Structure 1
């Protein structure tokens, strides 16, 4: 008489889709950017470039001196953390694996699907729209740091100021780059609201449970 195998099935572990370094730099960058934007708006209000100012509740620092202190502290955090992320991205192959290739046909297709709210999402895989956005915000980050340094130390870094076409132009470039980063953050948050399952993996690093089931079913079909 044979007995049935009653041993409980082994629990399948979820795969890592966001390494620890990517998650750590992501959240540190998010904190630094919020501090820099809000303190930057306080600095802007002290000498507006355009015919508007930002509301007090959206600023950080309380006054010009406090805002500058916050801005510089967050700048160094963003710079050091950003360099670590860039080094990992290039040397570790993160950019090559997740941001490339970026084809025009894929971008147009995914952009069309996004506008129709039919853009599919797979855990750990960036679509063409996401790839373009991440590459653009990396370039904006380099631009905002370079222009920020030029208006922080215009005498010591006069060559950098000249590269931007002067101090006033550098201020405008800094503001526009900042506005681009804020736009990226707004779209990024909107996508998280549309697909909330993407948030937890950025904390735990592991794929969602529904992603695990789909991954497992694909393996069964291939077997």
Structure 2
């Protein structure tokens, strides 16, 4: 009798696999908000001294003017740096990065790109990243580190002159910062499109399952 009851309880309350742990979900959304704030305020800062022959429309910028944009940018910078550092440390300490992002090989990336282009790339198991996802996530982590370092060199070029020299000079650091921003924007577009194509991945990042 007890075994039947236990079986019925098991059937009624099946175990649900946690795809995204709570710390990943919280840090993911904090990073997303910080990135959007930095990008929009960064566009307003760019408009004050553009590198190229174009400016961003004011409707997609944040801050209203240079001083306001700088305040937003610095506030979001600290949020992104602290949360990003916590994410890196936790990801390394828990072994999540090693399990999720390694190994990755050129052959696997090429094979998965071909599968994606022919709509044959499987999305059944959300706990396992394909080679393209691994490459994108590793790449955005690297870009995130470079954008922070280039941003610091632009912010404090005198105090951090040694950091500026790593990029060549101050103007070069600005170009590196802009390119990193463009890469992050491209990543966000791809990331959002993939989430829309595979809605259960978005659900997992919200509720974990």
**Counterpart position of 1:58:** 60
- Among 132, 135, 148, the alignment partner of 1:132 is 135
1:163-211 CA-partner distances (Å, limit 9, x unpaired) = 11000000000000110011000000111111111111101111xxxxx
Whether 2:148 is the aligned partner of 1:153: answer no
**Counterpart position of 2:109:** 107
SS at match of 2:12: coil
SS at match of 1:67: helix
**Counterpart position of 1:213:** none
Distance 2:118 2:32 in 1: 28
Distance 2:50 2:99 in 1: 42
Unpaired runs of at least 5, structure 2: none
**Counterpart position of 1:187:** 190
TM-score (norm 1): 0.88
Distance 2:132 2:30 in 1: 24
Moved more, 38-47 or 194-203: 194-203
Distance 1:136 1:170 in 2: 19
Tell me by how many angstroms 1:57 deviates.
Answer: 1.0
Pairs aligned (count):
202
Unpaired runs of at least 5, structure 1: 207-223
Structure of higher CA gyration radius: 1
**Counterpart position of 1:47:** 49
SS at match of 2:52: coil
**Counterpart position of 2:176:** 173
Distance 2:146 2:137 in 1: 14
Whether 2:47 is the aligned partner of 1:36: answer no
Moved more, 103-112 or 142-151: 103-112
Distance 1:68 1:118 in 2: 45
TM-score (norm 2): 0.94
SS at match of 1:40: helix
1:99-145 CA-partner distances (Å, limit 9, x unpaired) = 01102221111011112222111222111000000000000000000
RMSD, matched Cα: 1.2
